[in-house]
Amino acid sequence: MDAFIFDGLRSPFGRHGGVLSRLRPDDLGAAVVRGLVTRNGLAGGEIEDLIFGNTNQAGEDSRNIARHVALLAGLSTDVPGITVNRLCGSGLAALADASRCVLAGQGDLFIAGGVESMSRAPMVLSRATGAFSRGQVMEDTTLGSRFPNPLITSEFGNPSMAETADNVAGDLDISREDSDVFALASQTKYEAAKQRGFFDDEIHAVEVPAAHRKAAPEQVADDEHPRPGSTLEKLSTLRALNPDGVVTAGNASGINDGAAALLVGHADMADKLQRAPRARVVSAAVAGVEPRVMGLGPVPASRKALERAGLALKDMHVIEINEAFAPQVLGCLKMLDIAFDDERVNPNGGAIAVGHPLGASGARLALTAMRQLEAIDGRYALVSMCIGVGQGIAVVIERVDG
């Protein structure tokens, strides 16, 4: 009993504080799920469970955003929802979880994906430790550690995400120039893919409340984060975020808003859906690495996933690796002995261009990888992501020749 991806959609990805910031994350996720269900002619009650990645849960994410998304999307009230939090890898973890459920015979059809509104992530205030305490701490929930545990900090440190990427650059001799060249390639490949219409069948337009009280709601159908006018000269002038580092705002992913959803089930669902499966989930793996070099997590995770699939990197026709930071991706490629300009790597651009709404990115990567396999008549794709605090996740998918 294999697990298959039948279809998928994503929202456009918005900039921090951009057009999608006017939309609650549960509404954003629901819009994509509703679009996916409608496109496949489902009533909504056929779904066994909705498994959604989300990293925040401190504000309008409402602790269990998956259940809210299921209800808002119009699924039957007897369709439950579970929220997965493996930080940056949450959307890909949701796909792996749904696939395992199918393999275990615990359901026929699932929706797996994720959503994040980093723009609407709230500030949170700690509780007072005593009756007259003035020691409450305010933390920003947008990104990174909050209320860090002193025991973790003393043993593993508390580096920012950018610092972990600079650690990778220092350890593996990744240069600023190579990082900027990679970032420019991401922007260039994304723009070329957009111009040839690659994303047209991938993006589901969402309706966003008006910016002004008397204006009409806005239909948003385009990614907001890409910088098509990027040049190597412009990128090289940007200031490094850390002293002696190579990470800049131009060679790092963004802080973004977005959602993505995949329809996952076993082959018998093809008749009901009147749609042939598009990809088989071959294997999945997670791994841990030192938190200071969290960006290298895709290396052991990819090796495990490939070994479980009985495949090697040479068998992959597409390699999607999340572009949290250019030097982080280059470090992974170097350790995996993949050339920095390998045409299989992120052929339609990556998160440096499209953005990285944390809980949604994994599902977006799997969707893009599946569609790229179809576009080039390829067979296998490796999808991998680094994860904060030192983890990696990887999934191998196989195109179904329909």
Rounded to whole angstroms, how far apart are CA atoms 111 and 16?
27
Angle between helices 161-172 and 326-335 (to 10 degrees): 40
Among the listed residues 16, 68, 88, 101, the single catalytic one is 88
Give yes or no: 101 in active site: no
Identify whether the C-beta of residue 83 lies closer than 8 Å to the C-beta of residue 57. Answer: yes
Using DSSP, state whether 315 is helix, strand or coil. Answer: helix
Look at strands 206-208 and 218-220 and give their pairing: antiparallel
The length of the chain is 402
Give yes or no: 88 in active site: yes
Secondary structure (DSSP) of 13-75? PBPTTSGGGGS-HHHHHHHHHHHHHHHTT--STT-SEEEEE-S--SSTT-S-HHHHHHHHTT-
Rounded to whole angstroms, what are the CA distances from 254 to 12, 222, 224, 358?
14, 16, 11, 10
Angle, CA 224 vertex, CA 197 and CA 219 arms, to 5°: 80
Among the listed residues 68, 225, 332, 386, the single catalytic one is 386
Rounded to whole angstroms, how far apart are CA atoms 53 and 112?
8
Using DSSP, state whether 159 is helix, strand or coil. Answer: coil
Query: In terms of Cα–Cα distance, which of 45, 138, 53, 142 is closest to 94?
Result: 53
For the chain, how far is it from start to end, CA to CA, in angstroms? 18
Rounded to whole angstroms, how far apart are CA atoms 145 and 44?
37
The pair of three-digit structure tokens given for residue 173, joined into one six-digit string:
């001799």
Give yes or no: 356 in active site: yes
Among the listed residues 16, 204, 225, 356, the single catalytic one is 356
Secondary structure (DSSP) of 219-240? EE-S-S---TT--HHHHHTSPP
Rounded to whole angstroms, what are the CA distances from 2 to 37, 63, 98, 352?
22, 31, 11, 33
> What are the catalytic residues?
88, 356, 386
